[in-house]
A and B are shown apart, each in its own frame.
Chain A
Amino acid sequence: MKRLLASTLGILAVATAGTAIAESKPVRIGYSIAKTGLFAPAAPSQINAYDLWAEQVNARGGLDIGGKERRKVELIQYDDQSNPGKAVRIYERLITVDKVDLLLAPWGTPHHIAVASVLERYKFPMVGNTAASVQLREMKPGNIWFSTSAFPDRLAKAMAEMLKQSGVKSAAVLTNQLPFGMENKKLLIPELKKAGIKIVVNTDYPPNTKDMTAMLVAVKRAKPDAVIVHSYPGDSVLYVKKARELGLNAKYQYVMVGPAIGFFRGMFRGAADGIITLGHWSQFKNARSKAFFEAYVKKYKQEPDFLDSAETWVSVEILEQAVAKAGLDKDKLRKTIATGSFDTIFGTVHFKGVENAVTKTGFLQIQKGKIHIVWPKDAATNALQPKGPWPK
């Protein structure tokens, strides 16, 4: 409740306690996010990162506007109830009624795609974050960009390459029937075949699956070198529990979404070691990353989501630096984001079209309870290790 107040009413308390700078009007920054509904469990990773950023900016004396002045920021947040149609109306309202100065991104691919049309109509630039689909590339560049590098076609190539180089000859592929899982699977299967990896099991399962025994008994019998699970947090938990219970000891086990979120390692502790997951960031990447990680842990008493929180953070780093250069003028801002280079926790980032042109698509692995980048090799913070047997 406290956090909600802080984010909706903004950091007004801080602003009034401040000095002369507090006199100027705060920069109003709006966004909508799934506070309720299907995607609500995913949203806190992103909301936390936004709130932390606003707090840090205000502690620094405010947002640097084109090098001319510093103004405090005030976040305006609405609940889109996990409904992309609602998000569209909210972004319209933010632009036309609330007259915000800047926009932040909502959560998830469908919402990004939905609000892109609003951005286009009002020529309002926004740096996106938590979206990943090859569809994004088909969007008209100009007012939206994506900080992620987790595009499923790039992921498929990277996965096949990583497994091939690790000596994997056979793989089982299990896929949650949600769009992101299915898109990844569709693109991965041909890449695995190209890499000479035999697919011994290829099964889809519905999102509301409550038990994976039958599926994993079949996988265990097929004895694959690698198991690739295109899962979401709920079924990631099911998979790890059941794979451990059955003693499904494939050397490489990829669990797509979930292991990078704090609760997962809390639940499994040492048993999660060796699991590979989706992501391209870790606190060991650079000094900036370490600072972000530590500030996040200090404020929220939990680790950030290595995928969503990190991508969110990159998007606000880019926005902040672009505003420092261009001010709040939309045309200048658009040009600056589209052509500039930005220092982020992913390293230096610039865009090509809508896509992050620098950050390499990669994977993370849990090693001794910590998350490391293990792929690609030249971005790795630790080497990829085959997974040992599950602890009893």
Chain B
Amino acid sequence: MDALLSGDLLFAALIVGALYALVALGLNLIYGTMRLLNIAHGDLIMLGAYASFWLFTLVGLSPIIAAGIAAMGAAALGAIAYFSLFRRQIARPGPVEKLEANSLLLFFGLSVIIQNLASLAFTASPRAIGYLDQIYEVAGVPVIANRLVAVAIALAICIAVAVFLRLNIYGLAIKALIQNRDAATITGVNVERVQLLSFLLGFGLAGLAGALLSMTEQISPFMGFPFTIAAFVVIILGGLGNLTGGMIAGLLLGVLETYGVALTSPSYRSILVYGVFIAVLLYRPQGLLGGRRISR
């Protein structure tokens, strides 16, 4: 039992949780502001990971710097997707459920295309980066440096986004859009521009998360899907569109997974995670931390 009190577990929970929080953040932004269900989110993470891998392998660029480039690249991709596929979808009048369903299909197609293009371009051979892999002790817990860096950046980004949403005028506009789209329009929020911004942010965050994960995970064209699923679980736990809730839910999921597995067995991981997920959907469909929605 005293294994449960070890710093190793606590730290593992924090690392997994922080990465989940970051991965879910981009997805939540896009869903919150536009009601688009980005099922290709994990594939953008994969592209970010490849960007980092190639920059590291070909020109020796540190994945930490590559993270910025990957974020910009993914955001550029986001701009293309937004103008070519999604702008008209969002503008089209109709119930929000229809938009959700359409976006799900569109993103699903995008996901398949991205995966297979990546597989053609990079081959499906698994790849990996050996970077910052010395071990440090932090508060008596040994940690590989790259995981420490990844988690530090993930947390910093989450906090930065939270601050941006609270203090910056565009951040506030994003929040306004998430809360009530029509009211935001009436009060003079430039919906079009704010939508584009959150689309770019959402894609960019996925690219960035991918570059961070490239230091700690094996990279392959099909690595993205588990992250998509994890991100969906996180944002539903935290409350769809509730960004702070999503970040806290990410950390909670990390704790739940790590300690749940320690208390039971690794075979129970999925049962635990999806058990809680289903329970939340049944008893608190607005999410663990979601308040009641104001009617639309």
Contact, CB under 8 Å: A210 / B16: yes
- Check A241/B216 contact, CB under 8 A, given A214-B261, A392-B134: yes
Q: Which residue of B16, B218, B259 contacts A263 across the interface (Cβ within 8 Å)?
A: B218
Contact, CB under 8 Å: B267 / A204: yes
- Check A261/B135 contact, CB under 8 A, given A209-B269, A214-B261, A217-B3: no
Shortest Cβ gap from A202 to chain B (Å): 10
Contact, CB under 8 Å: A211 / B128: no
Query: Is B12 among interface residues, defined by CB-CB distance under 8 A?
Result: yes
Q: How far is the CA of A196 from the CA of B220 in the complex (A)?
A: 41
Q: How far is the CA of A353 from the CA of B11 in the complex (A)?
A: 53
Convert A166-207 into 0s and 1s, putting 1 for each residue whose CB lies closer than 8 angstroms to a CB of B. Answer: 000000000001000000000000000000000000011110
Across the interface, name the chain A residue whose C-beta is closest to B222.
A40
Q: How far is the CA of A4 from the CA of B123 in the complex (A)?
A: 10
Shortest Cβ gap from A65 to chain B (Å): 32
Q: Which residue of B123, B257, B259, B266 contacts A215 across the interface (Cβ within 8 Å)?
A: B266
Contact, CB under 8 Å: B262 / A217: yes
Query: Is A122 among interface residues, defined by CB-CB distance under 8 A?
Result: no
- Check A263/B125 contact, CB under 8 A, given A1-B120, A40-B221: yes
Q: Which residue of B123, B127, B142, B257 contacts A245 across the interface (Cβ within 8 Å)?
A: B142
Contact, CB under 8 Å: A237 / B217: yes
Q: How far is the CA of A269 from the CA of B128 in the complex (A)?
A: 11
- Check A208/B270 contact, CB under 8 A, given A214-B262, A244-B135, A271-B133: yes
Contact, CB under 8 Å: A41 / B222: yes
Query: Is B275 among interface residues, defined by CB-CB distance under 8 A?
Result: no
Q: How far is the CA of A40 from the CA of B258 in the complex (A)?
A: 29
Contact, CB under 8 Å: B266 / A204: yes
Chain A neighbourhood of B143, CB < 8 A: 245
Chain A neighbourhood of B91, CB < 8 A: none
Classify chain B: how many residues form its interface, as a range. 35 or more
Across the interface, name the chain A residue whose C-beta is closest to B12.
A213
Chain B neighbourhood of A244, CB < 8 A: 135, 144
Chain B neighbourhood of A41, CB < 8 A: 124-126, 220-222
Chain A stretch 257-299: residues in CB contact (< 8 A) with chain B: 261, 263-264, 266-269, 271
Chain A contact surface mostly: helix
Query: Is A43 among interface residues, defined by CB-CB distance under 8 A?
Result: yes
Chain B stretch 47-79: residues in CB contact (< 8 A) with chain A: none
Contact, CB under 8 Å: A40 / B128: no
Query: Is B192 among interface residues, defined by CB-CB distance under 8 A?
Result: no
Q: Which residue of A38, A203, A392 contacts B222 across the interface (Cβ within 8 Å)?
A: A38
Query: Is B265 among interface residues, defined by CB-CB distance under 8 A?
Result: yes
Contact, CB under 8 Å: B125 / A218: no
Query: Is A247 among interface residues, defined by CB-CB distance under 8 A?
Result: yes
Across the interface, name the chain B residue whose C-beta is closest to A392.
B135
Contact, CB under 8 Å: B124 / A43: yes
Q: How far is the CA of A36 from the CA of B12 in the complex (A)?
A: 32
- Check A264/B128 contact, CB under 8 A, given A35-B119, A214-B262, A217-B6: yes
Chain B stretch 186-233: residues in CB contact (< 8 A) with chain A: 216-218, 220-222, 226, 230
Convert A111-129 into 0s and 1s, putting 1 for each residue whose CB lies closer than 8 angstroms to a CB of B. Answer: 0000000000000000000
Contact, CB under 8 Å: A263 / B134: no
Q: How far is the CA of A264 from the CA of B218 in the complex (A)?
A: 9
Q: How far is the CA of A362 from the CA of B178 in the complex (A)?
A: 60
Convert A301-315 into 0s and 1s, putting 1 for each residue whose CB lies closer than 8 angstroms to a CB of B. Answer: 010000000000000
Chain A neighbourhood of B184, CB < 8 A: none
Contact, CB under 8 Å: A1 / B121: yes
Query: Is B109 among interface residues, defined by CB-CB distance under 8 A?
Result: no
Convert A37-62 into 0s and 1s, putting 1 for each residue whose CB lies closer than 8 angstroms to a CB of B. Answer: 11011111100000000000000000
Contact, CB under 8 Å: A206 / B144: no
Q: How far is the CA of A269 from the CA of B132 in the complex (A)?
A: 12
Chain B neighbourhood of A210, CB < 8 A: 16, 226, 230, 257
Considering residues B116, B121, B128, B129, which has the most beta carbons from chain A within 10 angstroms of its beta carbon? B128
Shortest Cβ gap from A242 to chain B (Å): 8
Q: How far is the CA of A97 from the CA of B259 in the complex (A)?
A: 56
Contact, CB under 8 Å: B134 / A218: no
Query: Is A18 among interface residues, defined by CB-CB distance under 8 A?
Result: no
Convert B11-40 into 0s and 1s, putting 1 for each residue whose CB lies closer than 8 angstroms to a CB of A. Answer: 110011000000000000000000000000
Contact, CB under 8 Å: A233 / B226: no
Chain A neighbourhood of B127, CB < 8 A: 263, 266
Chain B neighbourhood of A3, CB < 8 A: 123
Query: Is A221 among interface residues, defined by CB-CB distance under 8 A?
Result: yes
Shortest Cβ gap from A144 to chain B (Å): 25
Chain A stretch 227-247: residues in CB contact (< 8 A) with chain B: 233-234, 237, 241, 244-247
Chain A neighbourhood of B129, CB < 8 A: 267
Contact, CB under 8 Å: B142 / A247: yes
Q: How far is the CA of A4 from the CA of B265 in the complex (A)?
A: 43
Q: How far is the CA of A237 from the CA of B214 in the complex (A)?
A: 12
Contact, CB under 8 Å: B266 / A233: no
Q: How far is the CA of A38 from the CA of B124 in the complex (A)?
A: 10
Shortest Cβ gap from A285 to chain B (Å): 24
Chain B residues at the A interface, C-beta cutoff of 8 Å: 3, 6, 8-9, 11-12, 15-16, 115-116, 119-121, 123-130, 133-135, 142-144, 147, 216-218, 220-222, 226, 230, 257-259, 261-262, 265-267, 269-270
Q: Which 5 A-B pairs have the closest CB atoms?
A: A205-B266, A214-B262, A267-B128, A213-B12, A40-B124
Report 28 cross-chain contacts, Cβ distance below 8 Å, ordered by A residue.
Answer: A1-B121, A36-B119, A40-B119, A40-B220, A206-B269, A210-B226, A210-B257, A211-B261, A213-B9, A214-B9, A214-B262, A214-B266, A215-B261, A217-B6, A217-B262, A221-B3, A244-B144, A247-B142, A261-B125, A263-B128, A263-B218, A267-B129, A267-B218, A269-B130, A271-B133, A302-B125, A392-B134, A392-B135
Chain A residues at the B interface, C-beta cutoff of 8 Å: 1, 3-4, 35-38, 40-45, 177, 203-206, 208-215, 217-218, 221, 233-234, 237, 241, 244-247, 261, 263-264, 266-269, 271, 302, 392
A-B contact sample (12 more), CB < 8 A, given A41-B125, A211-B15, A218-B262: A36-B116, A38-B222, A41-B220, A203-B266, A204-B267, A212-B266, A213-B9, A233-B126, A244-B135, A245-B147, A263-B127, A266-B130
